[in-house]
C-alpha cells in the first residue's frame, strides 16, 4: 500500500480542534507571550552567568544550565495554561451546542475524549517545540547530548498527556467552563503538591520507623518530580545525588515507573471521562413496570 | 423504518414521555405535534441516543438501539432544535469534519458537499466561515451535514423555529424534496399549517402520551362530529342555546358573544334541520358558516381537554392554555 499522509487515520476531533485553535488570535498571542517570557528568562540567566566570576570557557560551560532553567520555566507556564486549555474542551462544546450533534454521530464517547486529549497534548507540544531554538544554546554551545533533547520531548509529551487527561476529565465533571478550570487547578494542586503529604507526615511523626521511603511512593504520580529526575539524569547527576529517602534510587528506573503509572492513570481518567459524557451508558431494554403504565 | 416501543422517560416522578409506541413506515414524512412541554423533544432525543429511555426500545431500520447503537446511528441523521457551529471553520471544513467521523475520505466529501449544498440552496458557499452564516442558512447547513452519511432517516426537531416566512418555505421545500427522494423524515413542529401541508402522517402528543397517530387523511376524518357550524345569533342567546340543546346528535362546542359554535357531522341535511329548528323556534339567525375539521381544530380538541391527564403528574411543567 502506498504510504502517504492521507492514509494515516487521524482522530477527526483532533484535526478539527487543532485547525480551529491554530486559527484563533488567542493562540498566536499565547505563543508570542510564551516565547517572550522564555526569552526574558534566557537573557536574565545569561546575565547572571556572565557576571565576572566566570571566564569565557566557564560561561560556555554554564550555558548547560539553560536547559533545566528554561525547561522548568516552560513546564511551569504550561502547568498554568493546560487547565485553561483543556478544562473548556468539553464544556465549550456544550456551551456552543455542538456537543449533541457529536454524540449522535458514530463517534464513541471514548473516541471523543481521546480526540480532545490528543489535540490538547499536541497543542502543548507546539509550545514545547517553539522553545527548542532557545534551548538549543545549551546543546550546541553548552555541549549537552542531543539524546537529552529527545528525552526532554518525550518527558514533556507524557507530562502534557497526563495533565491534559486530568483537564479533560475535569471538563466532564462540571457544566460550566469556569468551574472545570478551577477544578482542574485543584486536581493539579493535589498531584503537584498533595503528593508530598504522605512523605511529610511520615517525616513528622514516624521518623526513623523504617517506613520513610514508602512516603515517597505517591511522588511517582507527581509529574514535577519525574521532571527533576529527568534533568538530573540529563545533567549527569549520579545515583547517589537523588533525594535521600526515596525508595527507588535510580532516577532512570524512577522515570520509567513513574511514566508508566502516569500513562496508566491518564487512560483511567479518559475512561472515566468517557463514561461521564455517554448519555445512554448501560442502556438495556426494560419492559415498563406497572407504575409506568396507565 | 422507525419503531418506538413503549418508550418512557421519567424526571423524578414526572413522566415526560409515558408509554409511547409508534411506527413510522419507510418513505413517510411524519410530523410530531403537541403543545409546549408535550414531550416531543424528549422523544426525539431518546430516538437519537441523547437521552436514556427509562423503559422501552427504539428500532430503526431493523436495528435495536439497546443492542446495536452504532447501526442505529449510521442510518439516522439528526438536526436538533437548538444547535451551534464552530468558529473559525469554513463550510467545506465543517462538512469534512463530520465526513471524517463517518470515515468518508476528503475527496468524496468534497463531491458530496457541493451536491448537498445545492440540495439545501446553499450552493457555492464552501469557502464561507460557518459562524458568519445566517440562522436559516445554518439550519440548512445542518440538514446537509445530517445527510452526509446518507442516512435513511432524517430527524429534525422544530425545523422552522426562528426562521422567517421565506426561510420557512425554503426549509419546507427542502424537506419535501428529500422526502420525494425516498428519505423517511420525522419532524416536530408547532406550525400546524406546515405540518398539515407537507406531512403524510402525523402524531399528536399531549402530556407525554401519543393521543393519536396515523396517516394525515385518516387523522383528519377522526371523530363523529368533526365539523363546526358557526351561527350568528341576533336574538336572545339563552333561547338559542336552549333550542340547540333540543336537537339530537349534535353538541355545542363553544359559545361566544352573539355566536354559537356547534359540533356536527357537517351533512347538508343536518345543517338544514338545525337552521329550521332554530328559526321555527323564534331565534333570529344573522348568518352561518361551516368549518371543516383541520389539523388545528383537531389539535385543539385533542390537547385542550383533560381526558389524557396522567395521575400523579404535576401540572406545573405543562404549559397549558391551549383551550379556546
Ligand atoms: N432535564 C429535565 N428535567 C426535568 N424535566 C424535564 C427535563 N427535560 C424536559 N423536562 C420536562 O419534560 C417535559 C417535556 O419536555 P419537552 O422538551 O420534550 O417538550 P416539547 O414537546 O419538546 O416542548 P416544546 O414544544 O416547548 O419544545 C416538559 O414538561 C419538561 O418540563
Ligand atoms: Mg421541543
Q: CATH number, domain at B243?
A: 3.30.70.100
Q: How many CB pairs under 8 A join A and B?
A: 103
Neighboring chain A residues of B53 at a CB cutoff of 8 Å:
283
C-alpha distances out from residue B16 to A55, B42, B51, B70, Å: 81, 7, 12, 26
Give a yes or no: residue B109 inside a domain: yes
User: Which among B193, B221, B249 is the end of a domain?
Assistant: B221
CA angle A189, A195, A199 (to 5 degrees): 140
Please name the member of A20, A101, A287 whose beta carbon is closest to the beta carbon of B89: A20
| Mean predicted lDDT score pLDDT of chain B | 85
> Over 90: is that where the pLDDT of A139 sits?
no
Residues 6+ apart with CB under 8 A from A294: B18, B19, B310, B311
Question: Closest Cα partner for B310 from B35, B19, B53, B7?
Answer: B19
Give a yes or no: residue B172 inside a domain: yes
- What pLDDT does residue A243 have? 58
pTM: 0.83
Give a yes or no: residue B190 inside a domain: yes
In percent, the amount of chain A with pLDDT more than 90 equals 28
Alpha-carbon distance of A212 to A209, in angstroms, equals 7
Give a yes or no: residue B313 inside a domain: no
Give a yes or no: residue B312 inside a domain: no
Test site for ligand 1: of B32, B42, B160, most ligand atoms within 8 A of the Cβ: B42
User: Do B38 and B183 have their domain in common?
Assistant: yes
From the CA of B287, how many Å to the nearest CA of chain A? 45
User: Do B168 and B241 have their domain in common?
Assistant: no
Alpha-carbon distance of A160 to A155, in angstroms, equals 9
Q: Which domain holds residue B124?
A: 2-221
User: Which among B221, B248, B279 is the end of a domain?
Assistant: B221
Optimal mutation site among A21, A95, A294, interface B, most CBs of chain B within 10 A: A294
User: Do B153 and B271 have their domain in common?
Assistant: no
Greater confidence (B299 vs B13) lies with B13
Q: How far is the CA of B41 from the centre of ligand 1 (A)?
A: 7
User: Do B105 and B234 have their domain in common?
Assistant: no
| A14 within 8 A of A122, measured Cβ to Cβ | yes
> Over 60: is that where the pLDDT of B310 sits?
no
* pLDDT-based confidence at residue A290 (cuts at 50, 70, 90): very low
User: Do B183 and B49 have their domain in common?
Assistant: yes
Neighboring chain A residues of B80 at a CB cutoff of 8 Å:
97, 100-101
Q: How many domains does chain B have?
A: 2
From the CA of B273, how many Å to the nearest CA of chain A? 42
User: Do B116 and B256 have their domain in common?
Assistant: no
> How many CA atoms lie within 13 Å of A255's alpha carbon, on the beta-carbon side?
21
List the grid coordinates of A99. 456537543
Residues 6+ apart with CB under 8 A from A99: A90, A93, A277
Question: How big is chain A by its Cα radius of gyration, in Å?
Answer: 23
Cβ contact, residue pair A284, B106, below 8 Å: no
User: Which among B221, B241, B257 is the end of a domain?
Assistant: B221
Find the range with the poorest average confidence among B181-185, B233-237, B288-292.
B288-292
Q: How far is the CA of B38 from the centre of ligand 2 (A)?
A: 8
Torsion of CA B62, B67, B72, B78, to 10 degrees: 130
**Ligand 1: which atom is nearest the Cα of residue B40?**
21
Report the phi/psi class of residue B2: left, alpha or beta, with left for phi > 0 and alpha for psi in -120 to 50.
beta
Please name the member of B15, B86, B88 whose beta carbon is closest to the beta carbon of A98: B86
Cβ contact, residue pair B56, A98, below 8 Å: no
Cβ contact, residue pair A292, B52, below 8 Å: no
Q: Most distant CA pair in chain B: distance in Å?
A: 80
Test site for ligand 1: of B47, B51, B317, most ligand atoms within 8 A of the Cβ: B317
Give a yes or no: residue B23 inside a domain: yes
CA angle A105, A119, A276 (to 5 degrees): 55
User: Do B23 and B57 have their domain in common?
Assistant: yes
User: Do B32 and B159 have their domain in common?
Assistant: yes
| A168 within 8 A of A273, measured Cβ to Cβ | yes
Residues within 6 Å of ligand 1 by CB? B 11, 16, 34, 36-42, 317-318
Q: How far is the CA of A282 from the centre of ligand 2 (A)?
A: 25
Cβ contact, residue pair B70, A294, below 8 Å: no
Neighboring chain B residues of A6 at a CB cutoff of 8 Å:
105-106
Neighboring chain B residues of A290 at a CB cutoff of 8 Å:
none
User: Do B167 and B273 have their domain in common?
Assistant: no
Residue B103 main-chain phi, psi, to 5 deg: 75, 25
* End-to-end CA gap in chain A: 61
Which of A123-137, A265-279, B185-199 is the most confident on average? A265-279
| Pair type for strands B2-11 and B14-24 | antiparallel
Give a yes or no: residue B301 inside a domain: no
Q: Residues A134-145: what's their mean pLDDT?
A: 74
Alpha-carbon distance of A109 to A11, in angstroms, equals 13
Q: Residues A124-134: what's their mean pLDDT?
A: 88
* pLDDT-based confidence at residue B320 (cuts at 50, 70, 90): very low
List the grid coordinates of A15. 484535526
Residues A34-70 have pLDDT tens digits of: 999 988 988 888 787 766 565 666 666 677 777 888 8
Ligand nearest to the CA of B319: 1
Residue A158 main-chain phi, psi, to 5 deg: -65, -40
Residues A12-25 have pLDDT tens digits of: 999 999 898 888 88
Cβ contact, residue pair A96, B57, below 8 Å: no
Cβ contact, residue pair B86, A16, below 8 Å: yes
Please name the member of B49, B55, B74 whose beta carbon is closest to the beta carbon of A103: B49
User: Do B211 and B246 have their domain in common?
Assistant: no
Q: What is the CATH number of the domain that holds B134?
A: 3.40.50.300
- What pLDDT does residue A8 have? 59
Helices (H), chain A: 12-23, 25-49, 56-62, 66-95, 99-104, 109-130, 132-140, 146-173, 177-192, 197-205, 223-234, 251-277
Residue B221 main-chain phi, psi, to 5 deg: -100, 20
Q: Residues A221-239: what's their mean pLDDT?
A: 79
Question: Closest Cα partner for A120 from A132, A131, A112?
Answer: A112
Test site for ligand 1: of B13, B37, B51, B187, most ligand atoms within 8 A of the Cβ: B37
Helix or strand run (H / E) with residue B31: strand B29-33
Residues B169-179 have pLDDT tens digits of: 888 999 999 99
Alpha-carbon distance of B34 to B303, in angstroms, equals 7
User: Do B108 and B42 have their domain in common?
Assistant: yes
Q: Residues A111-130: what's their mean pLDDT?
A: 92
Question: Closest Cα partner for A105 from B79, B74, B309?
Answer: B74
Cβ contact, residue pair B80, A15, below 8 Å: no
Q: Residues B210-224: what's their mean pLDDT?
A: 80
Give a yes or no: residue B29 inside a domain: yes
> Over 60: is that where the pLDDT of A288 sits?
no
* pLDDT-based confidence at residue A86 (cuts at 50, 70, 90): confident
Alpha-carbon distance of A261 to B4, in angstroms, equals 46
Question: Closest Cα partner for B135 from B112, B158, B111?
Answer: B158
**Ligand 1: which atom is nearest the Cα of residue B43?**
18
Q: Residues B110-129: what's their mean pLDDT?
A: 91
User: Do B49 and B152 have their domain in common?
Assistant: yes
Amino acid at each position: 500500500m502506498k504510504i502517504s499522509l492521507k492514509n494515516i487515520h487521524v482522530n477527526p476531533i483532533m484535526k478539527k480542534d487543532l485547525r480551529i485553535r491554530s486559527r484563533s488570535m488567542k493562540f498566536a498571542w499565547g505563543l508570542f507571550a510564551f516565547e517572550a517570557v522564555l526569552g526574558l528568562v534566557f537573557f536574565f540567566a545569561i546575565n547572571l552567568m556572565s557576571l565576572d566570576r566566570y571566564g569565557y570557557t566557564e560561561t560556555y560551560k554554564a550555558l548547560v544550565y539553560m536547559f533545566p532553567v528554561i525547561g522548568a520555566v516552560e513546564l511551569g507556564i504550561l502547568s498554568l495554561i493546560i487547565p485553561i486549555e483543556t478544562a473548556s474542551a468539553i464544556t465549550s462544546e456544550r456551551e456552543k451546542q455542538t456537543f449533541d450533534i457529536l454524540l449522535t454521530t458514530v463517534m464513541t464517547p471514548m473516541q471523543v475524549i481521546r480526540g480532545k486529549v490528543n489535540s490538547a497534548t499536541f497543542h502543548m507540544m507546539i509550545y514545547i517545540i517553539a522553545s527548542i531554538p532557545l534551548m538549543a544554546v545549551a546543546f550546541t554551545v553548552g555541549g549537552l547530548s542531543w539524546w537529552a533533547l529527545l528525552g526532554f520531548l518525550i518527558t514533556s509529551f507524557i507530562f502534557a498527556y497526563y495533565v491534559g487527561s486530568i483537564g479533560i476529565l475535569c471538563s466532564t465533571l462540571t457544566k460550566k467552563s469556569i468551574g472545570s478550570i478551577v477544578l482542574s487547578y485543584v486536581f493539579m494542586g493535589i498531584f503537584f503538591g498533595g503528593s508530598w503529604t504522605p512523605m511529610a507526615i511520615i517525616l513528622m511523626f514516624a521518623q526513623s520507623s523504617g517506613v520513610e521511603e514508602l512516603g515517597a511512593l505517591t511522588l511517582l504520580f507527581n509529574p514535577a518530580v519525574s521532571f527533576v529526575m529527568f534533568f538530573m539524569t540529563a545533567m549527569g547527576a549520579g545515583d547517589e545525588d537523588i533525594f535521600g529517602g526515596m525508595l527507588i534510587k535510580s532516577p532512570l528506573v524512577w522515570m520509567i515507573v513513574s511514566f508508566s503509572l502516569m500513562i496508566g492513570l491518564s487512560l483511567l481518567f479518559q475512561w472515566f471521562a468517557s463514561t461521564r459524557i455517554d448519555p445512554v451508558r448501560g442502556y438495556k431494554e426494560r419492559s415498563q413496570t406497572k407504575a409506568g403504565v396507565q | 423504518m422507525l419503531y418506538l416501543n413503549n418508550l418512557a422517560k421519567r424526571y423524578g416522578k414526572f413522566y415526560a414521555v409515558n408509554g409511547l409506541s409508534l411506527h413510522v413506515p419507510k418513505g413517510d414524512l411524519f410530523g410530531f405535534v403537541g403543545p409546549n412541554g408535550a414531550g416531543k423533544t424528549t422523544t426525539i432525543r431518546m430516538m437519537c441516543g441523547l437521552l436514556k429511555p427509562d423503559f422501552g426500545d427504539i428500532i430503526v431500520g431493523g436495528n435495536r438501539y439497546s443492542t446495536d447503537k452504532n447501526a442505529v446511528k449510521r442510518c439516522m441523521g439528526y438536526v436538533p432544535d437548538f444547535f451551534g457551529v464552530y468558529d473559525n471553520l469554513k463550510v467545506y471544513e465543517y462538512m469534512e469534519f463530520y465526513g471524517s467521523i463517518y470515515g468518508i475520505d476528503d475527496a468524496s466529501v468534497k463531491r458530496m458537499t457541493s451536491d448537498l449544498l445545492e440540495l439545501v440552496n446553499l450552493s457555492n458557499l464552501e469557502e464561507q466561515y460557518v459562524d458568519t452564516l445566517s440562522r436559516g442558512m445554518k439550519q440548512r447547513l445542518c440538514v446537509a451535514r445530517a445527510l452526509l452519511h446518507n442516512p435513511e432517516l432524517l430527524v429534525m426537531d422544530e425545523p422552522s423555529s426562528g426562521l422567517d416566512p421565506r426561510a420557512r418555505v425554503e426549509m419546507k421545500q427542502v424537506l419535501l424534496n428529500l422526502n420525494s427522494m425516498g428519505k423517511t423524515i420525522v419532524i416536530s413542529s408547532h406550525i400546524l399549517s406546515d405540518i398539515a401541508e407537507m406531512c403524510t402522517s402525523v402524531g399528536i402528543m399531549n402530556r407525554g402520551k401519543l393521543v393519536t397517530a396515523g396517516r394525515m387523511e385518516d387523522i383528519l376524518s377522526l371523530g363523529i362530529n368533526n365539523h363546526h357550524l358557526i351561527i350568528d345569533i341576533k336574538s336572545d342567546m339563552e333561547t338559542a342555546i336552549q333550542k340547540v340543546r333540543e336537537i339530537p346528535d349534535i353538541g355545542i362546542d363553544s359559545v361566544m358573544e352573539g355566536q354559537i359554535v356547534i359540533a356536527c357531522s357537517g351533512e347538508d341535511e343536518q345543517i338544514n334541520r338545525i337552521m329550521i329548528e332554530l328559526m321555527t323556534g323564534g331565534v333570529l339567525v344573522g348568518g352561518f358558516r361551516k368549518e371543516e375539521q383541520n389539523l388545528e381544530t383537531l389539535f385543539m380538541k385533542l390537547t385542550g381537554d383533560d381526558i389524557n391527564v396522567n395521575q400523579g403528574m404535576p401540572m406545573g411543567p405543562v404549559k397549558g392554555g391551549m383551550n379556546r
